[in-house]
Structure 1
Amino acid sequence: MDTEDDPEIIFSEYTQAIVIQGHHFDVEIYKTTLHPGWILSVENEFGTLTISDDPPYLADGLAWRAFQALVSDEGIKAFFNKNEQRKLRL
């Protein structure tokens, strides 16, 4: 594969590691040089990814606000599958 044809990944300044209620999350907001829409990806402490990209966000700040709204509306349970929720007793 020719690396010159691979799209560049552009990370937002909102990309960060964050701790909420004692639980670690890696929040990545990024886009590629091939597609203008931003993608929100949240990895929990078990390595499970939650990706929000449909539709892609028009701005990185909108993706960050969507993350904040999800935490506000659903809590951290939104980022754990049912098995993980049982382990954590969420």
Structure 2
Amino acid sequence: MDTDDDVDVVFSELCADVKIDGRFLTVEIYKTTINPSWYLEVINEFGTTTLYDEPFLADGLAWQQFEKTVKEEGLAAFFTKVEKRKLFH
């Protein structure tokens, strides 16, 4: 029996579509039913995904990391070099 068939993805209530400085990001925070760790994924308006390597103990910690990244690195952290040239220059 393949146990992968029994795995469901659980999305946090903190998932959100965010608009910052006219740019759109989708913030997804999720875990599986077999793993209690939460994952943070940010998708920009071009469909490019930033998936954080390290899981979080709680969904709130994942959201705090998103906010910290925006504060410290700005929106550019979620865009490729080509996308940055299109948007910020």
Question: TM over 0.5, yes or no?
Answer: yes
Q: Is the 8 A contact 1:38 1:53 kept in 2?
A: no
Match of 1:36 in 2: 36
Deviations along 1:16-72, one digit per CA (max 9) or x if unpaired, are 101010001110000001211100000000000001132x10000000000000000
Supply the RMSD in Å over aligned alpha carbons.
1.6
1:41-80 counterparts in 2 under 5 A? 41-54=41-54, 56-80=55-79
CA gap of 1:19–1:5, structure 2 versus 1, over 3 A, is same
Q: Is the 8 A contact 1:29 1:38 kept in 2?
A: yes
Match of 2:14 in 1: 14
How many angstroms does 1:89 deviate by? 2.0
- More deviation, 56-65/33-42: 33-42
Identity %: 53
Q: How many residues align?
A: 88
How many angstroms does 1:11 deviate by? 0.5
Structure 1 gap ranges (5+): none
1:11 and 1:57 map into 2 onto residues whose CA distance is 14
2:85 and 2:52 map into 1 onto residues whose CA distance is 23
